[in-house]
A and B are shown apart, each in its own frame.
Chain A
């Protein structure tokens, strides 16, 4: 199967943006990542087994592209995270605090946490997307949760 580009743009642009932002912590870079990810989809002509397969592929490509930007020696420094956060309208004070705390986590924990809590992926699906072992995903999730709990206290529950 190969869904139309427009269909995927409509459906996943914000998911890809959120995952890309989670990695590169910069709005302009995240938007570039979303665009480049869709361009890659358009130009590869790859066939997929299911819609979930397409979604996982898009997310994997977006994460890789965002990581490339992060590791790029030519990376542009644009609006800071703090400045960008001031433009976001959070529903509650706790939401803003959670967002800020997650963004302070080390990148490898942040991505695993995001895929689990936002994209609803299982540990084995996350392992497949990030090309790491399931036990490694569990370790990253566990350490990420502990760090969130440390800061957020009663605003974050113990879970698995």
Chain B
């Protein structure tokens, strides 16, 4: 038996679970499925946030629903935010200008410097929803959206597929490093080093 045959035999045990399904009809609804993955973003800011929100989290357990103003691709729209702080999950539903119902959902666990985990709080989710976002459009263009701003960065990637851009709105300012078709890092002080994220 060759190494390739051995390897393939060993890894042939890996397959998606039986309930894995990806119905094409559901894709439109899921096209803005978001996950909280700000990670590479502002770690310093995160620790500060963890300390600030600890008390609030303990006193505030269960589902929360509220109406929020959400920026979607440069346009502000009214949306309904549902948060389950016991699970650290959220969903945001809104109607687009063309009348289409959209749902964004996600969630996350925050880990402090000692490795302790807890579900993310409503405040952290709100902060996450108010972060710049990179979008790859069907026409091949790449945009950074932040609040009312839509920045076309399609031609701003260097030979290594890295783009550095800076967004500012009101009191919020972010430095972004974006890898083409990969991850992106956000920091409030300086451009994240592309070596520090994938």
Contacts and interface: CB of A to CB of B under 8 A. Distances in A.
Interface residues of B, number: 49
A48 interface: no
A96 B139 CA distance: 45
Contacts, number: 142
Given A39-B30, A95-B9, A14 B14 contact: yes
A125 interface: no
Contacts of B14: 14, 17-18, 21, 30, 88
B22 A35 contact: yes
Contacts of A31: 16-17, 20
A85 B11 CA distance: 11
A2 to B, nearest CB: 11
A122 to B, nearest CB: 13
A71 B16 contact: no
Given A13-B20, A14-B16, A94 B6 contact: yes
A147 to B, nearest CB: 13
A99 B11 contact: yes
A39 B27 contact: yes
Most buried by B among A14, A64, A70, A72: A72
A129 B31 CA distance: 25
Contacts of A5: 22, 24, 27
Interface residues of A, number: 59
B198 A39 contact: no
B164 interface: no
B37 A69 contact: yes
Interface string A86-117: 00111110111011001000000000011001
Contacts of B120: 74
A74 B38 contact: yes
A67 B33 CA distance: 18
Interface string B158-198: 00110000000000000000010111000000000000111
Contact of B15 (A9, A17, A32, A113): A17
B15 A155 contact: no
Interface in B109-128: 109-111, 117, 120
22 contacts: A9-B22, A17-B15, A31-B16, A31-B20, A32-B35, A36-B35, A39-B31, A43-B31, A67-B182, A68-B198, A71-B196, A71-B197, A74-B39, A74-B108, A77-B117, A90-B10, A91-B9, A92-B9, A94-B6, A95-B9, A99-B13, A131-B160
Closest 6 CB pairs of A and B: A67-B198, A73-B39, A45-B138, A117-B7, A74-B108, A72-B39
Interface of B: 2-4, 6-17, 20, 22, 24, 27, 30-31, 33, 35-40, 43, 46, 108-111, 117, 120, 136, 138-140, 160-161, 179, 181-183, 196-198
